[in-house]
Amino acid sequence: MADDAPIVMPLMLLILMSGGALVTLLFKAVFGSRNWHVTDGVVTGTKTSTSDSVGRLPAYNAHIVFQYEVGPQTYDGEMAVPYFSARTAHQVIESHPAGTAVKVHFNPRKPAQSVLRVKSPGIWLLWIVTALSVFTFFCMIMAARSLLFE
101 & 126 share domain? no
- Residues 79, 136 share a domain: no
Higher pLDDT residue, 140 or 3?
140
70 and 114 part of one domain? yes
Residue 16 lies in a domain: no
The domain total for the chain is 2
Domain that holds residue 133: 120-149
Total Cβ atoms within 10 A of residue 38: 12
Here the CATH number for the domain that contains residue 92 is 2.40.50
52 and 114 assigned to the same domain: yes
Interval 106-125: pLDDT, tens:
988 899 999 887 555 555 66
Instruction: Please indicate, yes or no, whether residues 54 and 104 belong to a single structural domain of this protein.
Output: yes
Q: Is residue 68 part of a domain?
A: yes
Across the range 21-41, mean pLDDT stands at: 71
Is 7 a domain residue? Answer: no
CA distance 95 to 117: 13
Residue 111 has a pLDDT of 93
Percent of the chain with pLDDT strictly greater than 70: 65
Residues 143 and 90 in one domain: no
Q: Once rounded to an integer, what is the mean pLDDT over residues 10-19?
A: 70
Is there a domain that residue 40 lies in?
Answer: yes
- Strand 114-116 relative to strand 101-106, pairing: antiparallel
